[in-house]
Structure 1
Amino acid sequence: MEWKERAVKRSRKLGLAVGAVLVACGLPLHGASAAPAEGESTTVVVQGDGSEKSGTSYAQCPAGTQLVGGGFLGGEPQAPVDTNAPSAARPGAWVTKAQYSYARAFALCDKESKPTSAVAGQTVTGDAVSYAQCPADKDLIGGGYNTNFGFNGFHQTSDTITANGPSAARSGAWAVKSSSGGETTAYALCRAR
């Protein structure tokens, strides 16, 4: 069996396993009932399409919901996910990409959340920290990153994201730092008050 076929089958199996875990934890995958019954969760998990090798996957929240978080499935030890963030280009979507590998985005969407938006921070190089700052009238509820890892001739890297979280130094900001010498950008997910 060809390598890509094995990777696609592995990705599908993992996607099904993640979906089963999410449902078992009480988080329905998109397609579940739109109106929560009393006492039911207001969140829905949306699974994006699996990417082609080095491609991008988007998980788009359905109408009537707001993006409140996200994540990914994919990448490999030597070809990690280099984008894992709320999308500034597609409001209400989570985006993920793995250079030289496959990835699938997941979005956590809330039916009762106030409006959310993604804010891109300044792109930095080297070991500098990128900060994505929410506007003063919005609260930081999450974030993510985009970076350009350095790869060798075998499409492998030892670069990593060394920081990815809320900033202790800047209130309302998401901070990201990479071990790579490439460009890194932080993304903040902000919610209206």
Structure 2
Amino acid sequence: MHVKNRWADRAGGAVVAAFAVAGLIAVPVSAADAVTTVQDGAPKPGETSFATCPEGTQLVGGGYRLDPGTADAGGPSEYLEINGPALRARSWSAKLRAGTVRAFALCDRTSAPTRTVAGEAKRDGEVSYVECPAGTGVIAGGFAGTPLTTDRGDVADVVATNAPSGNGWAAARKEGWTTALALCRDAS
């Protein structure tokens, strides 16, 4: 696991200080050290990559990066199966069908507790939707699933929806299977 201060690359916390002075966020200047970025240190081809926030922090977002040299990256037989908050505590997950992808997690030590909830798997353009539990609000989300492929294994599908919806998350592929994933934060 690699941990990096998210704000260290941005004017040593001056960005947070400027927002605090402007009244856009109600945090002390020292909160610049509260947000960190974590990445999976050793992803393997075709396996799920997990970036897990350290103890004492909460997952507040995430994403992925294709590792250089990933075979067939962007090719007709490669596709992203997962990009979203994991059911594993404080983790963001990403997975390519066969290539190597690296998950990233955005972690905050001042955030209220967060949790991941998953919707029902849907297919053929139906939208998978998941609602955050009472007393929580959606802050991020993503999807998991597999696309429709041709007899040769080429992808014949696309993620058509991956977006917040009400107090939850919606995800759908045009043809294949999809499950919506929502990251929900406790109300403060």
Q: How far off is 1:52 after superposition?
A: 2.0
Query: Is residue 2:60 matched to residue 1:68?
Result: yes
Give secondary structure in 2 for the equivalent of 1:38. helix
1:24 maps to a residue whose letter is D
Aligned to 1:84: 83
Compute the displacement of 1:173 (Å): 1.3
Quote the offset at 1:100 in angstroms.
2.0
Shift in Å at residue 185 of structure 1? 0.0
Could you tell me how far apart the structure 2 residues matched to 1:153 and 1:105 are? 30
Does the 8 A contact of 1:132 with 1:186 survive in 2? yes
Q: What is the percentage of aligned positions where both structures have the same residue? A: 35
The answer to whether the 8 Å contact 1:125/1:184 transfers is: yes
Distance 1:27 1:192, change over 3 A: farther
Q: Which amino acid aligns with 1:190?
A: C
How many residues matched? Answer: 164
1:10 is aligned to none
Query: 2-side partners of 1:26 and 1:184: how far apart?
Result: 40
Q: For residue 157 of structure 1, give the secondary structure of its aligned residue in structure 2.
A: coil
Give 1:39 deviation, angstroms.
5.5
Secondary structure of the residue aligned to 1:83 is: strand
Residue identity matched to 1:71: G
Q: Deviations over 1:74-105 (max 9, x none)?
A: 172231321001111x1100011000211110
Residue in structure 1 matched with residue 173 of structure 2 by the alignment:
178
Whose strand fraction is larger, Structure 1's or Structure 2's? 2
Aligned-partner Cα distance in 2 for 1:26–1:48: 26
Match of 1:94 among 87, 92, 95: 92
Report the equivalent of 2:9.
24
The 3-state SS of whatever aligns with 1:143 is strand
Q: Is the 8 A contact 2:119 2:180 kept in 1?
A: yes
Deviation at 1:26, TM superposition (A): 6.5
Partner Cα distance (2:119, 2:169) in 1: 8
Deviation at 1:154, TM superposition (A): 5.3
Distance 2:102 2:30 in 1: 32
Distance apart, 1:155 and its partner CA:
4.5
Counterpart Cα distance in 1 of 2:144 and 2:115: 17
Unpaired runs of 5+ residues, structure 2, are 14-27
Is the 8 Å Cα contact of residues 84 and 92 (structure 2) preserved in structure 1? Answer: yes
Aligned-pair RMSD on alpha carbons?
Answer: 2.8
Match for 1:68: what amino acid? V
1:95-174 to 2 correspondences below 5 Å = 95-152=93-150, 155-167=153-165, 171-174=166-169
Query: For 1:135 and 1:120, how far apart are their aligned partners in 2?
Result: 11
Q: Structure 1 113/162 Cα, relative in aligned 2: closer, same or farther at 3 Å?
A: same
